[in-house]
Chains A and B, each alone.
Chain A
Amino acid sequence: MAYFSEFRDPVNSKIILDNIHKITTKNWMIMEICGGQTHAIKRYGIDQLLPENIELVHGPGCPVCVTPLEQIDKALEIASLPNVIFTSYGDMLRVPGSSKDLFLVRSTGADIRVVYSPLDALQLAQDNPTKEVVFFAIGFETTAPANAMAVYQAKKLGIKNFSILVSHVRVPPAIKAILSSESNRVQGFLAAGHVCAVMGYWEYLPIAKDYNIPIAVTGFEPLDLLKGIHSCINLLETGQYEVSNEYSRIVSEKGNVHAQKTLGEVFQVCDRKWRGIGMIPESGWMLNSDYTDFDAEQRFDVSSITVPEPEICISGEILQGLKKPPECPAFRKLCSPENPLGATMVSSEGACSAYYRYTQE
C-alpha cells in the first residue's frame, strides 16, 4: 500500500469539493505559499472548480524566483573564474542575472555543471582536487538541510576545495512580511507540506495567533490541496485562527529533528534580500562562524556585488499576492518561458510560468 493514487482519486476529491461549496458563505482570499502548490492547482484546474467567492493567490515560495539578482551575478562572476567548477541545480542555469545567465557563461567556456544533489558537487570536489568546486546553495527549508549536510561532510572529510554560494530563504518571516504589509489582502494560508516535513509547523502556531490568520499545511496532490482549502475555509467561516495539519502522513508538529539539528550545526539565521520583494529581516540562513571557510562569497571576494532590480517586471507584486501574472503588460508578449524577463517566468515553479502553461489566452 503506497497511498499515492488515493490522493488523486476523483471521487474523493469531489466529496471534499462539494463540501467546500456547502460551507463557503463569504468571500475569502487564500494564499498558497509554494510554487509547487501553484503548479498543481493550475494543472488540475482546482481554482476553476472552487466557489466563485474563494480567490487563490500565489505566494513567494519559489526559491529560483526569489534568489536576488546580485546572488546570480555573484554566481556568474565565480563561474567565470579559471580553475572553478561551478555546480548548480538545473533550474538556476537560465535565470537571468543583470546581463547574462549561467548558460551563456557556460557557452563561453566556463565549467558549469548541473547536479542533482549537493553530494554530487562534493564528489566532484573529491574527484578534482586541483580545482575549486563551488555549489550554488539556493532554496527554502527543503533543500537547506541537504546543503548543510554537504558542508558538514566536507569539513569532516577535510575537503578544502569545496565551497557554497549561499542564498537560503525561510518561509515564516516571509509570511509575516506579507501579513504586515498595509496592502495585504490574504486571509488564510496554505503552508507548503515539504517545508513543514522538515521544519514541522511549530513556527506557524504563534503566527496564526498573532495575526489572526488560519494556516493549513497541505501536500501537492489534488486531494491534499482540496483538503487544505477545505480546512482553511472551515477555520475562516468559524472564526478560528489555528494551524491545521492536512498532510499528516508526512508532516508532524516538530518536523524532522535530525534535519533541524544539521541546519543549526552549519547555518545561522540572517537577514536576506528576496528578488522583487527586498530585504526581509531574519528570512535567510548563512554559514555560521564554524563554517565560514566554506563560504564562496568570501573565498572569491564577491560579497560586495549589488544590483538594482529591473523596472518592467512586476514579479515582486505577484510574489506577495498583490497582482496576478496576466496583469503584467509583458506577460505572453515580451515575456515567455523561452524568453523570460523575470524569475517567475524562468522557473517551472514560478507563478508566471504556471499561468503561461495552464491558462488560455
Chain B
Amino acid sequence: MCLAVPGKIIEIFEKNNMQMCKIDFGGSVREACLDLVPEAKIGDYTLIHVGFAMSIISEKEAQITLDMIKEISDQELDDN
C-alpha cells in the first residue's frame, strides 16, 4: 500500500467530476486520478499511489543527478 509505482500517462479523461488518466506500468494499464497533479500531461511519467498520481517525475532533475555521479567518477579517475 505504501510504495508508489512509476508509470506513464497514456490517456486523460473525466469521470465523476474528477480528472482521471490511464497509466501504463510497463505493459499493464490501470486508471488513476489526476486531481492532485492537475498539471500532468499525456506522456509524463508519474508516481502512482493508491490510485492517485502524486508527483511528476522530472527528467531534467534525473539527468542532473546522473551527471553528478559522472563528475564523482571523473574526479576519482583524476585522483588516481
Residues of A within 8 A of B (CB): 1-4, 6, 12, 15-16, 18-19, 34-36, 62-64, 89-91, 116-120, 138-140, 142-143, 145-147, 149, 153, 156-157, 194, 197-198, 220, 223, 227, 246, 248-251, 256, 258-259, 262, 349
Chain A residues lying within 8 Å of B66, measured Cβ to Cβ, are 3, 6, 12
Given known A-B contacts A35-B2, A197-B47, A250 and B55 have beta carbons under 8 A apart: yes
Interface residue ranges of B1-57 to A (CB < 8 Å): 1-4, 6, 8, 16-18, 33, 35-38, 45, 47, 49-52, 54-55, 57
Among A118, A197, A248, A259, contact of B51 (Cβ-Cβ < 8 Å) = A118
In the complex the two chains form, what is the Cα distance from A204 to B33 in whole Å?
Answer: 28
In the complex the two chains form, what is the Cα distance from A109 to B52 in whole Å?
Answer: 31
Chain B residues lying within 8 Å of A246, measured Cβ to Cβ, are 65
In the complex the two chains form, what is the Cα distance from A360 to B63 in whole Å?
Answer: 37
Chain B residues lying within 8 Å of A248, measured Cβ to Cβ, are 58, 61, 64-65
Among A16, A91, A119, contact of B33 (Cβ-Cβ < 8 Å) = A119
Among A89, A90, A198, A249, contact of B58 (Cβ-Cβ < 8 Å) = A249
In the complex the two chains form, what is the Cα distance from A90 to B2 in whole Å?
Answer: 11
> Is A143's CB under 8 angstroms from B2's CB?
yes
> Is A249's CB under 8 angstroms from B18's CB?
no
In the complex the two chains form, what is the Cα distance from A180 to B16 in whole Å?
Answer: 46
In the complex the two chains form, what is the Cα distance from A16 to B72 in whole Å?
Answer: 8
Counting CB contacts under 8 A, is B59 at the interface? yes
Number of A-B contacts (CB under 8 A): 128
Q: Closest A-chain residue to B32, C-beta based?
A: A117
Counting CB contacts under 8 A, is B78 at the interface? no
Where chain A touches its partner, the secondary structure class is helix
Chain A residues lying within 8 Å of B65, measured Cβ to Cβ, are 227, 246, 248-249
In the complex the two chains form, what is the Cα distance from A149 to B66 in whole Å?
Answer: 35
Among B33, B47, B52, B64, contact of A250 (Cβ-Cβ < 8 Å) = B47
Measured CB to CB, the closest approach of chain B to A277, in angstroms, equals 18
Q: Closest A-chain residue to B51, C-beta based?
A: A117
Ordered nearest first, which 3 A-B pairs have the shortest CB separation? A117-B51, A89-B1, A3-B62
Chain B residues lying within 8 Å of A91, measured Cβ to Cβ, are 1-2
In the complex the two chains form, what is the Cα distance from A156 to B16 in whole Å?
Answer: 11
Q: Closest B-chain residue to A63, C-beta based?
A: B2
Chain B residues lying within 8 Å of A349, measured Cβ to Cβ, are 2-3
> Is A256's CB under 8 angstroms from B54's CB?
yes
> Is A16's CB under 8 angstroms from B49's CB?
no
> Is A258's CB under 8 angstroms from B35's CB?
yes
Measured CB to CB, the closest approach of chain A to B43, in angstroms, equals 11
Among A6, A143, A220, contact of B49 (Cβ-Cβ < 8 Å) = A143
Chain B residues lying within 8 Å of A120, measured Cβ to Cβ, are 51
Selected A-B contacts with CB under 8 Å, 6 pairs: A3-B66, A119-B51, A143-B1, A197-B47, A227-B69, A262-B36
In the complex the two chains form, what is the Cα distance from A333 to B53 in whole Å?
Answer: 41
